[in-house]
A and B are shown apart, each in its own frame.
Chain A
Amino acid sequence: MTDANGLHVGRRMRRKEDPPLLQGKGNYVEDITVPGVLWAAFVRSPEAHARIASIDASAARERPGVEAVFTGAELDLEAPLPLAWVPPGVEVNAPAHWPLAKEAVKHVGDPVAVVIGTDRYAVVDAAEDVIVEYDPLPAVVDPEAALDGGDLVHDDLGTNKVHEWSLGGDVESALASSDVVIERRFVNHRTAGAPIECRGVIADYRAGELTVWSATQVPHFLKLFLALQLGMTEDRVRVIAPDVGGGFGSKLQVYGEEILLAWVSRKLGRPVKWIETRSENMATAHHGRDQVAYVKMGANRDGTFTALHVKIIADFGAYMMLLTPLIPSLGAFVMAGCYRWQAVRTDITGVMTNKMATDAIRGAGRPEATHYIEVMVEQMAAELGIDRLELRRRNFIPPEDFPAETPVGIVYDSGDYPGSLAKLLERFDPEAERGRTADGKLRGVGFSTWTEICGLAPSRVTGPSGLGVQAGLMESALVRVHSTGSITVYTGTSPHGQGLETSFAQIVADRLACDPQQIDVLHGDTSQGPWGLDTYGSRSLAVGGEAIARATAKVADKVRAIVAHKLEAAADDIEVREGKFSVKGSPDKGMTLAEVAGLAYIPEDNLPAGMEPGLEETSFYDPENFVFPFGAHAAVVEIDPETGKVDLVRYLAVDDCGPAINPSLIEGQIHGGIVHAVGQALFEQVAYDEDGQLATGSFVSYALPSAAELPMFETDRTETPSPVNSLGVKGVGEAGTIAASAAVTNAVIDALRPEGIAFMNMPLTPMRVWEALQEKRGAPA
Chain B
Amino acid sequence: MIPAEFDYVAPESLDAALAALREGGEDAKVLAGGHSLVPLMKLRLAAPTLLVDLRRVPGLTGIQRANGTVRIGAMTRHHAVATAPELGLAAKAAATIADQQVRNRGTIGGTIAHGDPASDLPAVLLALEGSVMVRGEREREIAATDLFQDYLTTAIADGEIVTEVRLPAGDGWGAGYAKFNRRVEDWAMVAVCASVRRAADGSCADVRVGLTNMSGVPLRANAVEQALRGGGLDAQAIAAAAGLAAEGTDPPEDLNASSDYKRHLARVLCRRALEEAAAAA
**Which residues of A are in contact with B by a Cβ distance under 8 Å?**
120-121, 124-125, 128, 277, 279, 642-643, 645, 683, 687, 695-696, 698, 700-701, 703, 705-706, 708-709, 765-767, 770-771, 780-781
Report the Cα distance A709→B181, complex, angstroms: 11
Bound Cα distance from A709 to B5, whole angstroms: 38
- Contacts beyond the supplied A645-B180, A767-B257: 6 A-B pairs with Cβ under 8 Å: A121-B2, A124-B2, A128-B44, A683-B182, A687-B255, A780-B260
- B268 with A643: CB separation less than 8 A: yes
Residues of A with C-beta under 8 A to B43: 279, 698
Given A709-B183, A770-B264, verify A765-B256 contact (CB < 8 Å).
yes
B104 at the interface (CB under 8 A from A): no
Q: Given the known inter-chain contacts A121-B2, A643-B180, A643-B268, please indicate yes or no for A708 contacting B255, CB distance below 8 A.
A: no
Known interface pairs A124-B2, A125-B5, A642-B268. Does A695 touch B183 (Cβ–Cβ under 8 Å)? no
- Least CB separation from A695: chain B residue: B255
Query: B52-72 interface mask toward A, CB cutoff 8 Å, 1 = contact, 0 = none?
Result: 000000000000000000000
- Top 9 A-B pairs ranked by shortest CB distance? A124-B2, A708-B184, A767-B261, A642-B268, A695-B255, A703-B182, A709-B183, A767-B257, A765-B256
For this complex, 13 residue pairs linking A to B, each with C-beta atoms less than 8 Å apart, are: A125-B5, A128-B44, A643-B180, A643-B265, A703-B256, A705-B183, A706-B184, A708-B185, A709-B183, A765-B182, A767-B257, A767-B258, A770-B264
For the complex, give the distance between the alpha carbons of A770 and B182 in Å.
13
Chain A residues contacting B184 (CB-CB under 8 Å) are 706, 708-709
- Bound-state CA distance A781–B2 (Å) is 42
Are A766 and B256 neighbours in the complex by a CB distance under 8 Å? Answer: yes
Q: Does B4 sit at the interface, judged by CB under 8 A?
A: yes
Which B235-281 residues have a C-beta within 8 angstroms of A? 255-258, 260-261, 264-265, 268
The reply to whether the CB of B186 lies closer than 8 angstroms to some CB of chain A is yes
B263 to chain A, nearest CB (A): 11
Contact of B2 among A277, A695, A700, A765 (CB under 8 A): A277
* Distance A704 CA – B256 CA, assembled complex (angstroms): 14
How far, in whole Å, are A695 and B255 apart by their CA atoms in the complex?
Answer: 7
For A709, give the chain B residue with the smallest CB separation: B183
Residue contact B260 to A125, C-beta cutoff 8 Å: no
- What's the minimum C-beta distance from B42 to chain A, rounded to whole angstroms? 8
Docked complex Cα distance between A705 and B2 (Å): 26
Query: Chain A: interface secondary structure?
Result: loop
- How many chain B residues touch A (Cβ–Cβ < 8 Å)? 23
Interface contact B268-A706, CB-CB below 8 Å? no
Report the minimal beta-carbon distance from B94 to chain A, rounded to whole angstroms: 17
Within 8 Å by CB of A696, from B5, B185, B255, lies B255
Which residues of chain B are within 8 angstroms of A780 by Cβ–Cβ distance? 260
User: Distance in Å from the Cβ of B177 to the closest Cβ of chain A?
Assistant: 16
Within 8 A of A (CB), among B167-201: 180, 182-187, 189
What chain A residues lie within 8 Å of B260 (beta carbons)? 780-781
Taking a contact as CB atoms under 8 Å apart, the answer to whether B183 and A703 are in contact is yes
Instruction: Give A701 to B187 CA distance when docked, in angstroms.
Output: 10
> A563 to nearest B CB, angstroms?
57
A305 to chain B, nearest CB (A): 37
Tell me the bound Cα distance from A211 to B186 in angstroms: 42
B5, A708: Cβ atoms under 8 Å?
no
Q: Return chain B residues, CB-CB under 8 Å to A771.
A: 261
Total A-B residue contacts, Cβ distance less than 8 Å: 56
Q: How far is the CA of A120 from the CA of B185 in the complex (A)?
A: 31
Q: Taking A708-B184, A709-B184 as contacts, is the C-beta distance between A767 and B2 under 8 angstroms? A: no
Q: Which residues of the other chain, B, contact A698 by a CB distance below 8 angstroms?
A: 43
Question: Could you say which residues of chain B place their CB within 8 Å of the CB of A766?
Answer: 180, 182, 189, 256, 261
Whether B186 pairs with A703 at a CB distance below 8 angstroms is yes
- Could you tell me the distance between the alpha carbons of A701 and B185 in the complex, rounded to whole angstroms? 12
Q: Report whether A121 and B5 are in contact in the complex, using a CB–CB cutoff of 8 Å.
A: yes
Residues in B22-63 with C-beta less than 8 Å from chain A: 43-44
Give the chain B neighbours of A706 by CB distance below 8 A: 183-185
Question: Is there contact, CB below 8 Å, between B255 and A770?
Answer: no
Q: State whether B183 touches A770 (Cβ < 8 A).
A: no
- Docked CA distance A700–B255 (Å): 11
Chain A residue at minimal CB-CB distance from B43? A279
Which B residue sits closest to A277, measured CB to CB?
Answer: B2
Which residues 1-22 in B have Cβ within 8 Å of A in the complex? 1-2, 4-5
Q: In the complex where A706-B185, A708-B184 touch, is A767 in contact with B256 (Cβ < 8 A)? A: yes
Which single residue of chain B is at the shortest CB-CB distance from A768? B256
CB-CB nearest in chain B for A120:
B2
Q: How far is the CA of A709 from the CA of B256 in the complex (A)?
A: 17
Q: Of A124, A709, A766, which is in contact with the most chain B CB atoms at under 10 Å from its CB?
A: A766
Please name all residues of chain A whose beta carbon is closer than 8 Å to the beta carbon of B257 when the two chains form the complex. Answer: 767
Bound form: Cα–Cα A709–B99 in Å:
13
Given the complex of chains A and B, what is the CA–CA distance between A643 and B261 in angstroms? 9
Which residues on the B side are within 8 Å of A121 (C-beta)?
2, 5
Which residues of B have CB within 8 Å of A120? Answer: 2
Find chain A residues with CB under 8 A from B185 CB: 706, 708
Q: How far is the CA of A357 from the CA of B258 in the complex (A)?
A: 28
Least CB distance from A319 to B in Å reads 25
Give bound CA distance, A223 to B185, whole Å.
41
Residues on A with C-beta less than 8 A from B4 are: 125
B268 contact set on A, CB distance < 8 A: 642-643
* CB nearest to B3 among chain A residues: A121
Contact A683 B261 (CB under 8 A): no
Contact pattern, B 100-131, Cβ under 8 Å of A = 1, otherwise 0: 00000000000000000000000000000000
A277 proximity list for chain B (CB < 8 A): 1-2
Closest to A682 in B: B182
In the complex the two chains form, what is the Cα distance from A780 to B44 in whole Å?
Answer: 40
Q: How far is the CA of A124 from the CA of B44 in the complex (A)?
A: 11
CB neighbours (8 Å) of A705 from chain B are 183
Which residues on B sit within 8 Å (CB–CB) of A770?
261, 264
- The interface residues of chain B lying within 8 Å CB-to-CB of A683 are 182-183
For A124, give the chain B residue with the smallest CB separation: B2
Closest to A122 in B: B5
A213 CB to nearest chain B CB (Å): 20
* Nearest Cβ on chain A to B45's Cβ, whole angstroms: 11
| Contact partners of B5 in chain A: CB under 8 A | 121, 125
Chain A positions within 8 Å of B265 at CB level: 643
> From residue A620, how far is it (CB to closest CB) to chain B in Å?
44
Bound CA–CA A25/B268 (angstroms):
49
